[in-house]
Amino acid sequence: MRSLLVFQIRSLLTVAVFICATVTSACAQEKPKRMIQGPSEFIVVPDSLGENEDGIAQITFGGISPPPKPTEYASIGAKGLKDAPPLPTGYTLFKDLVFKVKTEALVSGSHLTIFKVSSADGNVEFGKLDVLHLKYDALSPTNFSWEDATVFPNGWDEHFHHIPKKLYDAATPDFKSKRIAAITDEFGIFAIAFAPESEPQQTGPFPEVVLKGTSSPEPAHPGQEVTHTLVFSNQGISTAAEVDVKEVLDIDLDFVSVSQTQGVCKQKEALNIVVCHLGPLPAKARATITLVTRARGMFITNPSTGKPESSKIVLNSIEAVFKRTATDFVDERGQIFSQIKTTIVNER
């Protein structure tokens, strides 16, 4: 009886190993794979990647502080996106290919992450693939947003100076090797997805959101409260699916409080950054943010002479984004960059 039970257990284990070795499944997704140092300290490659396996083929760091540290990746599948925002408009996930990369190395600059997509069926299908990267985005209600990070022909410029042009050009999509690459400033989650064959068709006009900002009182004295009022108006005829706002306070203004007529506002960890997620803004509607600060209670001095100044102008930067559909990429039509001026005068 005991020998029969042992035989049955061994049989089940053999079947499980066979399944894990022959199909893409949770068996292959649960355990992260370690990557090993390649030809230089700037390159890491998987410790194993089958000839017909989908996975990460190589990572080239834009900058790394020696000594090299462990780098791992795992295939996490669509289940790994349960807390992520939906894929951008028009994109669909390709064969559940979602990967998570993490490293203990101190890295900086832009990095190349090269994927091998052996399961792509033909050059036409392979040519439709892009690499999407989930990046940190303070302006997103989820704190993350998708970017198309695909390396494409003639795409290198000085922005990617950490990656030499020769390496960038060698990482453009290549059906012969079934390799496609992404260039990013951070790691995290990557998804292989079908890109829209053309720009997603949108019906109706684009929202026309405008900002009017005021600072009061103007001028203000050290120690006095200063209120910034930001009024967003949709002057178009279509709804903005979401309006997200970030204000960065000058060092001479301390945060006191913030309120809004809709949505939610919060002070970020940096303390001098306030982010608001106002939600949808229908046509002809408006939303108001009231941000209260306090001017630093000190005399203003000229940094070069050390002598008191009669006044000082501080500038607070504002960035706002809005979209027609929540899953759209942000384009230049949906961006607002502005500043609010506050004059601080010395007490007499």
pLDDT digits (tens, 9 = 90+) for 52-111: 899 999 999 887 776 667 888 999 999 999 999 999 999 999 999 999 999 888 888 889
| % of the chain exceeding 70 in pLDDT | 85
Other Cβ atoms within 10 Å of 204 Cβ, number: 10
* Higher pLDDT pick, 38 / 257: 257
Whether 219 has a pLDDT exceeding 60, the answer reads yes
Cα radius of gyration (the chain): 26
Please give the single-letter amino acid code of residue 62.
G
pLDDT at 14 over 70: no
Closest CA to 219 of 316, 312, 344: 344
Can you tell me the distance from the alpha carbon of 189 to that of 331, in angstroms, rounded to the nearest whole number?
23
Q: Report in angstroms the alpha-carbon separations of 117 from 130, 150, 180, 303.
A: 11, 14, 7, 58
Taking alpha carbons only, the member of 126, 111, 112 closest to residue 177 is 126
As a whole number, the mean pLDDT across the chain is 86
For range 318-347, the mean pLDDT:
92
pLDDT tens readout for residues 263-321: 999 998 788 999 999 999 999 999 999 999 999 866 666 777 777 778 889 999 999 99
Tell me what pLDDT residue 205 has.
Answer: 87
Q: What is the pLDDT of residue 308?
A: 73
What is the residue-wise DSSP string for 191-231?
A: EEEEPPSSSPP--SPPP-EEEEEEEESSSB-TT-EEEEEEE
Q: Which residues contact 238 (CB under 8 A, 6 or more apart)?
A: 204, 205, 206, 207, 283, 324
**Spatial separation of the C-alpha atoms in residues 18 and 11, rounded to whole Å:** 11
The whole-angstrom separation of Cα 18 and Cα 6 is 18
**Angle ∠(169,174,179) on CA atoms, nearest 5:** 95
pTM summary value: 0.82
Confidence of residue 129 (pLDDT cuts 50, 70, 90): very high
What is the spatial distance between Cα 171 and Cα 59, in angstroms, rounded to a whole number? 11
What tokens appear for 13 in the block?
């284990």
- What pLDDT score was predicted for residue 70? 85
pLDDT of residue 105: 82
User: For position 76, what pLDDT does the model report?
Assistant: 95
- pLDDT reported for residue 161: 62
Instruction: Please state, in angstroms and as integers, the Cα–Cα distance from residue 65 to each residue in 105, 109, 113, 291, 342, following that order.
Output: 7, 12, 18, 41, 42
Give the alpha-carbon dihedral of 92, 97, 103, 109, to 10 degrees.
-40
Per the model's pLDDT, the better-predicted residue between 156 and 347 turns out to be 156
Match 């000190």 to its residue by tokens: 298
Question: What's at 338, amino acid-wise?
Answer: S
**Percentage of the chain exceeding pLDDT 90:** 62
Tell me if 141 sits within 8 A of 76, measured CB to CB.
Answer: no
Angle at 143 between CA 108 and CA 271, to 5 degrees: 80
What pLDDT band is residue 10 in, cutting at 50, 70 and 90? very low
Domains of the chain from N-terminus onward: 30-194 (2.60.220), 209-345 (2.60.40.1530)
Please report where in the chains the tokens 């026309």 appear, as a residue.
208
pLDDT attached to residue 347:
67
